[in-house]
Amino acid sequence: MHKMICDTSWDVFRPRPGLPLMAFWLSQARRRSLERELPAVMIAYMLSRMVRLVIDTNVFVAALRSEGGASREVLRRALSGSYTPLFGNALWSEYEDVLGRPLWTPATTAAEHRVVVAALAHQGQWISVYFGWRPNLRDEGDNHLIELAVAGNAAAVVTHNVGDMRRGEMVFPGLRIITPAECLEVFS
């Protein structure tokens, strides 16, 4: 019974042999109007091309403290939709915690911080972490970033703390640990 359900559901998404891919998508769209289906296909393609990133708190703080720099540009690209920032409970708590600390420069105001956090929440994706990979890093406080990146299938963790993060006991081959400047080069 279970196998039959899986087989029939996969057949909907599998193009028939000899049928060009666009014709396959158009044949799937017959039950809806062409104007409504093509944008959905385009949106699905665009979403699949967005880079999923975990943005460490130190990058978030650096972006809000300065008026330029690589950290600020990473945050701009996340807010514009070029990157999909991933969040979990621990990272979001860190973001909220640093907003209440007296470490800010006049480059941004408290109201601007709230606007940026709200915009990040709108642009990003909330990930539930169900499995912990501990102990992994020397700094226990950074393990949640790796766990979030693995759970969210992130392309990279963007941090200024690359030295410690790259020396973990476990290696995740598809996950990059990069600085903001490297992020701008790799995911341009």
Residue 64: other Cβ atoms inside 10 A: 22
Both 24 and 89 in one domain: the answer is no
Both 113 and 168 in one domain: the answer is yes
Both 78 and 97 in one domain: the answer is yes
pLDDT of residue 95: 92
Structural domain total, the chain? 2
Both 97 and 163 in one domain: the answer is yes
Both 130 and 182 in one domain: the answer is yes
Both 81 and 10 in one domain: the answer is no
State if pTM tops 0.85.
Answer: no
pLDDT of residue 170: 75
- CA angle (183 as vertex; 50, 142 as ends), nearest 5: 100
Both 115 and 26 in one domain: the answer is no
Both 36 and 94 in one domain: the answer is no
pLDDT of residue 91: 93
Q: How many residues does the chain have?
A: 188
Q: How far apart are CA 87 and CA 65, in angstroms?
A: 21
Domain around 106: 51-186
Both 108 and 38 in one domain: the answer is no
Consecutive sets of 10 residues in the chain, 188 residues long: mean pLDDT of each? 36 42 44 52 56 94 89 92 92 91 81 88 89 66 86 93 78 88 91
Give Cα separations from 99 to 46, 57, 68, 92, 95 (angstroms). Answer: 32, 10, 19, 11, 6
Both 34 and 91 in one domain: the answer is no
Both 34 and 59 in one domain: the answer is no
Q: How far apart are CA 131 and CA 116, in angstroms?
A: 29
pLDDT of residue 49: 57
